[in-house]
Amino acid sequence: MKDPIYTNDEDRRFSLHIADMTVLADKRCKTCYSDFLNEHSLSIALEVLKSRGITDYMLWGGYENAERVMLAVYPEFLKPDVGEFPIDCIGMKFRKNDELSHRDFLGSLMALGLKREAVGDIVIGQGIAAVFIKAELSPYVRSQISKIGRVGVEFTENTPDLSFKTFEFDEYVRTVSSLRADAVVSVCTGLSRAKAQKAVESGLVTVNGSIVYDADRKIQDKDKISVRGSGKFIIESDGAVSKKGRNILNIKKFK
């Protein structure tokens, strides 16, 4: 089968990188690891692997159900253990009455010159946080950070218990004439219907982790939609309609 063809230059370069990983893993007889992948880049990677018939791969982000994950492509005889992924979890603690956001942590890391692809999930609780990062960069981060924003932090000796992980949403109710992907993307993001349709057809929208190219794809209850550059959303629809016959949606936007 042929590799997928992408019109976006960035996506095309990334797809070629994934294709190269599959070749190198076989040629060098060793596991190849990607950087951390977001939902969009992961969907491209999976399309490339599927097109090449590659089944010897593993995804891991440092803990179960991580959002940002690394891809490991390996020879048939060399399946890696999750402990072999080059990921370190940096635990930090701070005063419980101080409030720190995902943006605060990410901003401090980016200020060190790190690329976004080098950082995985950032999980924040009350007075505690866990930052997943490429292992090779961990010593540097630990040596440079003593504050996040204006808040002093200390590194923990052990990996934090991630049971404190929660998701925060902005919730709002909207009505839409159709459950087509472009219509739902439009009402979620505020984009015009034409721009929403173009976003879908350009491969900028994923539904439940898979790129959707068909603007008329029907969105279902509990579908998770990610629109590149506009955020992630969970769509809740119980079939209710307004007096004007429009579909009533409860939209949760990830903060």
- Shared domain for 116 and 59, answered yes or no, is no
Is 229 within the bounds of a domain? yes
pLDDT tens digits, one per residue of 107-124: 999 999 999 999 999 999
User: Looking at residue 78, which CATH number applies to its domain?
Assistant: 3.30.1370.160
Helix H or strand E encompassing 144:
helix 138-144
- Shared domain for 105 and 157, answered yes or no, is yes
**At which of 82, 109, 131 does a domain end?**
82
**At which of 57, 82, 107 does a domain end?**
82
Q: What is the pLDDT of residue 90?
A: 96
pLDDT tens digits, one per residue of 177-225: 999 999 999 999 999 999 999 999 998 999 988 889 999 999 999 999 9
- Shared domain for 127 and 52, answered yes or no, is no
Number of domains in the chain: 3
Q: What is the pLDDT of residue 1?
A: 56
Is 4 within the bounds of a domain? no
Q: Rounded mean pLDDT of 7-27?
A: 92
pLDDT tens digits, one per residue of 48-99: 999 999 999 999 999 988 999 999 999 988 888 999 999 999 999 999 999 8
Q: What is the pLDDT of residue 55?
A: 92
Residue 2 scores a pLDDT above 90 = no
Q: Tokens 């982790």 — which residue?
A: 209
Positions of E strands within the chain: 32-37, 57-60, 69-73, 87-93, 119-125, 128-134, 147-148, 151-152, 154-155, 169-176, 205-207, 210-211, 224-227, 231-236, 247-254
- Shared domain for 116 and 139, answered yes or no, is yes
- Shared domain for 153 and 173, answered yes or no, is no
Instruction: Place 6 in a pLDDT band, splitting at 50, 70 and 90.
Output: confident
**In angstroms, rounded to a whole number, what is the distance separating the alpha carbons of residues 234 and 249?**
10
**At which of 97, 132, 164 does a domain end?**
164
Instruction: Place 166 in a pLDDT band, splitting at 50, 70 and 90.
Output: confident
Percent of the chain with pLDDT over 70: 99
What's the domain range around 136? 87-164
